[in-house]
Structure 1
C-alpha cells in the first residue's frame, strides 16, 4: 500500500514533463484516440503509452477502450483533486484556521 505522499506525488510527476503537459493541452478540446495523440507528439506507441500511464495513474486523465484503440479524456475529479492538493500543500497552517 502506498503512503499518501507517494499517491500525491503522482499528480506532480504527471505535471513535470513537457510531453505530458502537451498531451494535457491536446485533451482540453475533448476526448482523443491514442492514434490522434501520438502523431503530433512525435512519439512511438510505447512512448505514448508510458506517458499516458503516468497521466492515468495520477487521476488527471481517464481512458476507455474502443476496439483496439484507447481513448483518453481529462478527468474533472482528477483536476479538482490536483487543485485541492496544491492548495493544501501551499497554504500556511495559520491561514487554514
Structure 2
C-alpha cells in the first residue's frame, strides 16, 4: 500500500467514524457466510438504534419459534411498547 492509499484510507475511516458508520473489513480467506453473519450482527447491535415510537433503545432478540433475529424495544415491559424490526441484511 502506498502513501496515497494510506492517506485516502485514513480520510475515509475518519469520515465513517465521525458519522457513526462501522465498516466491516474482511480478508478473503475467512469469508464464509457464518463468519460474515456473526460480524454483521456484532456491528448492527453495537451502534445504538432507538425506537421510533417511544425513543427507547432497540435491543437484539431471537425468535425461537421462527429462528429470526430482530430488534425489540427495551421499553416492551415498562411502557408496553411493542415496536420491533427484523434485522434485514443480506449476504451477497
| TM-score in same-fold range (> 0.5) | no
Structure index of larger Rg: 2
TM-score by length of 2: 0.29
Higher relative CO (Cα under 8 Å, sequence separation at least 6) belongs to 1
TM-score by length of 1: 0.28
Higher helix share: 1
